[in-house]
Amino acid sequence: MDGSVPEEDARLRRALAETTTIAVVGASPDPARPSFGVMAYLLDRGYRVFPVNPRAAGSAILGQPCRARLSDIGETIDMVDIFRNAQAAGAAVDEALALAPRPRVVWMQLGVVNPAAAARAAAAGCVVVMDRCPKIEYGRLFGDIDRAALPASPLPGHEGIDRP
């Protein structure tokens, strides 16, 4: 191997490195939910994170005021991280594309695959990531993964992640 970074890794690394603000659509106040852990990780890495969840709007998640909609944030969002099912992801992408300015990155979490929504976001000029987790990718790409926090058995579709 010549030491070059694969193109996809470079794309993901750039998306994460150039991001400062992230809206987490489907953020949960429940510490047992994956969105809570991912949001905590992103906050710990210095990102400004805005939770978005209509059922939790008006409360705080990890000390951050929760909004009902992306349009309620009122600030420029670099990345929209979508913790919704694949069907609902389409509406979340459309809401993100209606923002001015648009987010640079539309990220759909593990298990969230919506090719039509991804195509709309890409056509609007966004970097699109599907079926990946920014926590896992940040840790993998920036050497910051807490292997003790990984499950002992692989998550479905993540059998290739090395375990200590």
Rounded distance between C-alpha atoms, residue 7 and residue 115, angstroms: 20
- What b/e string do you get for 2-33 counting C-beta neighbours within 10 Å, with b at 16 or more? eeeeeeeeeebbebbeebebbbbbbbbbeeee
Higher pLDDT, 145 or 112: 112
pLDDT band at 143 (very low <50, low <70, confident <90, very high): confident
Q: pLDDT by residue (tens digit) across 62-109? A: 999 999 999 999 999 999 999 999 999 999 999 999 999 999 999 999
CATH superfamily, region 7-143: NAD(P)-binding Rossmann-like Domain (3.40.50.720)
- Please state, in angstroms and as integers, the Cα–Cα distance from residue 1 to each residue in 5, 6, 13, 142, 144, following that order: 10, 11, 20, 20, 23
Q: So where are the chain's domains?
A: 7-143
Q: pLDDT by residue (tens digit) across 23-55? A: 999 999 999 999 999 999 999 999 999 999 999
Write down the pLDDT at residue 155: 44
The answer to whether the beta carbons of residues 26 and 83 sit under 8 Å apart is yes
Over range 154-159, report the average pLDDT.
Answer: 44
Write down the pLDDT at residue 27: 97
